[in-house]
């Protein structure tokens, strides 16, 4: 973790004692930053699991703090610089290249550079925010860290809820905004840097992801260029190790990672997947096919209903609440299973954005066709769809139609995010107690989402959609990497290689989504490399957990959520209308509606607030 304080008042020197108490540093770290403290700047490394890849360097002019990994270090340092600290090399190169240096760094990291002569601080992180960077600025002092909890150790940073961020969280089950759920603490936008100079704080972009078409190429030319980029993005993220790890679901993305990494490593590959038993949820046999083909040591983790109760532990490691029970709990139990077997894991995250794999992209196609139907008929059909009863299956026509009818009512200016919303405005107003509902009326979290798409330069709907997803839903999936750190495991994500992403952004949309076939170009690229059962499968379920069924049928889970969302708890917290919350529970239990996502979001939020807000 990278963390620090910078005071606007140059006469006020931050004491070593203040820094030590704030960041709970070890003795060796105290020595490292003693000089920095005397310059009114602190750079502290406090992540036990990764202290071997965290570095601080200083001289008379500069203090450089770095945390994380840059996978193209050899390209940055050059052969002649191998004996010098990487942070010193970064300082020298920043002097020459300025902020253009940041686009050259390929990895997951956070970086701070302080120059005492210029009285200038520059903070930045990787292209996608894999390693998050948060900051607090109150016009007097800047506090920054790659953890919200570290910032909250400072007495001037109060743990109070930001209501607009709270509204956004409830809408999407995570918070894609730069303003976090803690008022006054912001997340640095991916691809940006923060500069503090002459008592002014600004943020500027160092990387823009363009979807403008490049030179026209044939399908085969795209395939011939894509495969080497995929291989390189994987190879540069494989450390020299005796054991290697990968999360393997059996889908195209994770299977491609395992298939391509297999000939690159000498040691054993440990693969991990989870299984929820049930006809429409268990797809572990696909992971087994890939494991057998590449002779991995496969670990199949049983995801039982009782694992849901571990969410009380998991929220300890969330800077902000985020919830999809097939993501956060699943990542946690996979990390637990991998503990002591590996120290890093490759994942297939990012493939959906590279190659248009999310089902929401298909929903966009359906919506465009549906919009051509006369409006009276649209209204009749959506009204009929909304009356469909819920089923126990994850995917069925009734489930899809009901969800489509609800989401179609949101503006198409939200692009793919219209399908990810869980409350309309009347419902959100009803959720909050009257004294807080005014805050809902005064804010419009969706405007920030729409503004992202205004920045996109793609010339078609899918290109703009994919651009927006890199600055919204990607943040949700990346946060699960933080959960692995409890187990001493680093998540490495080849499909978030910036050069690979830049190339994929130029691939025409019709080579990504072709009719109902998602990831068309990836399927064509991996044909003949992966088993045919993987390349040509049509029944990918995603992160398949039957939580809606467990919530209805498993007394232990039902009692758990009723206890956390009890009348006394809801009234004590004071934000939400108890009658509305209890109706969510009743309607779900009676199978009138599937409220599992809403209820899980409220449960995770309450548990997170118990740890962070009190």
Residues 351/357, Cβ–Cβ less than 8 Å: yes
Q: Compute the Cα dihedral for 152, 155, 159, 163 and give only its sign.
A: negative
* Whether pLDDT at 176 is above 60: yes
User: How much is the pLDDT for 540?
Assistant: 65
Average pLDDT over residues 561-584: 96
**460-470: pLDDT as tens digits:** 999 999 999 99
Which domains are delineated in the chain?
2-205 (3.60.20.10), 219-356+464-535 (3.40.50.620)
The DSSP element (H or E) to which 124 belongs, if any, is: strand 120-125
Residues 273/249, Cβ–Cβ less than 8 Å: yes
* Whether pLDDT at 500 is above 60: yes
Strand order in the sheet with 185-187: 44-45, 2-7, 141-145, 134-137, 185-187
Q: Which range among 111-125, 365-379, 382-396, 464-478 shows the weakest confidence by mean pLDDT? A: 382-396
Tokens of 154: 């400072």
Average pLDDT over residues 112-137: 90
**39-97: pLDDT as tens digits:** 444 444 333 333 334 677 878 788 888 888 999 988 887 655 667 888 899 999 999 99
User: How much is the pLDDT for 4?
Assistant: 64
How many Cα atoms sit within 13 Å of 600 on the Cβ side? 28
Q: Which range among 106-120, 204-218, 336-350, 505-519 shows the weakest confidence by mean pLDDT? A: 106-120
Most confidently modeled range among 12-21, 201-210, 440-449: 201-210
User: How much is the pLDDT for 491?
Assistant: 95
**303-333: pLDDT as tens digits:** 999 999 999 999 999 999 999 888 999 999 9
Which letter does DSSP use for residue 323 in this model?
Answer: -
How many Cα atoms sit within 13 Å of 436 on the Cβ side? 17
Helix axes 498-505, 461-470, angle to 10 degrees: 160
CA-atom Rg of the chain in angstroms:
24
**254-312: pLDDT as tens digits:** 999 999 999 999 889 999 999 887 555 677 889 999 999 999 999 999 999 999 999 99
User: How much is the pLDDT for 314?
Assistant: 95
Rounded CA separation 188/468 (Å): 16
Determine phi and psi for 555, rounding to 5 degrees.
Answer: -55, -40
Q: Compute the Cα dihedral for 466, 470, 472, 476 and give only its sign.
A: positive
User: How much is the pLDDT for 3?
Assistant: 60
End-to-end CA distance of the chain: 25
């Amino acid at each position: 973790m990278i963390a620090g304080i910078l005071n606007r008042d140059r006469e006020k020197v931050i004491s070593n004692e203040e820094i030590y108490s704030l960041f709970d540093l070890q003795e060796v770290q105290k020595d490292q930053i003693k000089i920095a403290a005397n310059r009114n700047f602190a750079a502290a490394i406090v992540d036990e699991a990764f202290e071997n890849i965290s570095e601080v360097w200083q001289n008379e002019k500069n203090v450089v703090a770095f945390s994380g990994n840059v996978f193209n270090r050899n390209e940055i340092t050059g052969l002649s610089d191998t004996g010098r600290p990487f942070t010193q090399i970064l300082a020298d190169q920043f002097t020459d290249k300025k902020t253009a240096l940041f686009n050259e760094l390929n990895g997951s990291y956070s970086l701070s550079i302080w120059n005492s002569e210029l009285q200038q601080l520059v903070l930045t992180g990787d292209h996608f925010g894999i390693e998050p960077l948060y900051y607090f600025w109150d016009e007097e002092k800047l506090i920054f860290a790659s953890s919200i909890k570290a910032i909250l150790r400072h007495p001037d940073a109060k743990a109070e809820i930001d209501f607009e961020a709270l509204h956004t969280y409830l809408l999407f089950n995570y918070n894609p905004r730069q303003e976090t759920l803690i008022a006054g603490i912001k997340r640095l936008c991916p691809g940006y840097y923060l500069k503090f100079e002459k008592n002014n704080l600004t943020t500027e972009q160092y990387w823009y992801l363009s979807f403008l078409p490049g030179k026209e190429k044939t399908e085969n030319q795209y395939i011939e260029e894509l495969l080497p980029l995929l291989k390189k993005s994987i190879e540069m993220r494989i450390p020299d190790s005796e054991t290697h790890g990968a999360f393997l679901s059996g889908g195209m993305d994770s299977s491609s990672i395992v298939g391509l990494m297999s000939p690159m490593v000498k040691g054993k590959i440990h693969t991990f997947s989870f299984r929820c038993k049930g006809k429409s949820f268990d797809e572990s046999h696909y992971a087994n096919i890939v494991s057998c083909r590449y002779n991995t040591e496969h670990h199949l983790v049983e995801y039982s209903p009782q694992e849901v109760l571990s969410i009380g532990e998991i929220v300890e490691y969330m800077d902000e609440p985020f919830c999809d029970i097939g993501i956060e709990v699943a990542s946690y139990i996979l990390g637990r299973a991998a503990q002591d077997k590996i120290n890093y894991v490759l994942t297939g995250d990012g493939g959906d954005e590279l190659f248009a794999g999310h089902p929401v992209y298909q929903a966009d196609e359906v919506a465009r066709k549906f919009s051509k139907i006369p409006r009276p008929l649209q209204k009749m059909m959506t009204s009929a769809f909304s009356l469909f009863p819920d089923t126990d299956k994850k995917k069925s026509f009734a489930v899809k139609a009901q969800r489509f009818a609800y989401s179609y009512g949101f503006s198409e200016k939200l692009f793919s995010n219209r399908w990810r919303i869980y409350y309309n405005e009347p419902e959100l107003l009803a959720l909050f107690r009257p004294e807080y509902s005014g805050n809902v009326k005064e804010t419009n979290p969706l405007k920030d989402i729409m503004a992202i798409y205004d920045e996109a330069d793609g010339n078609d709907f899918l290109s703009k959609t994919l651009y927006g997803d890199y600055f919204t839903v990607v943040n949700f999936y990346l946060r699960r990497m933080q959960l692995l750190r409890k187990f001493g495991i680093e998540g490495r994500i080849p499909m978030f290689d910036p050069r690979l992403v830049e190339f994929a952004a130029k691939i025409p949309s019709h080579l990504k989504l072709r009719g109902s076939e998602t990831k068309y170009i990836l399927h064509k690229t991996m044909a003949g490399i992966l088993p045919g059962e993987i390349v040509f499968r049509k029944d990918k379920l995603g992160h398949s957990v039957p939580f809606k069924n467990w919530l209805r049928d498993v007394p232990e889970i039902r009692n758990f959520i009723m206890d956390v969302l009890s009348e006394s708890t809801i009234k004590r917290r004071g934000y939400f209308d108890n009658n509305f919350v209890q109706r969510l529970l009743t309607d779900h239990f009676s199978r009138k509606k599937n409220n599992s996502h809403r209820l899980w979001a409220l449960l995770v939020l309450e548990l997170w607030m118990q740890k962070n807000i009190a």
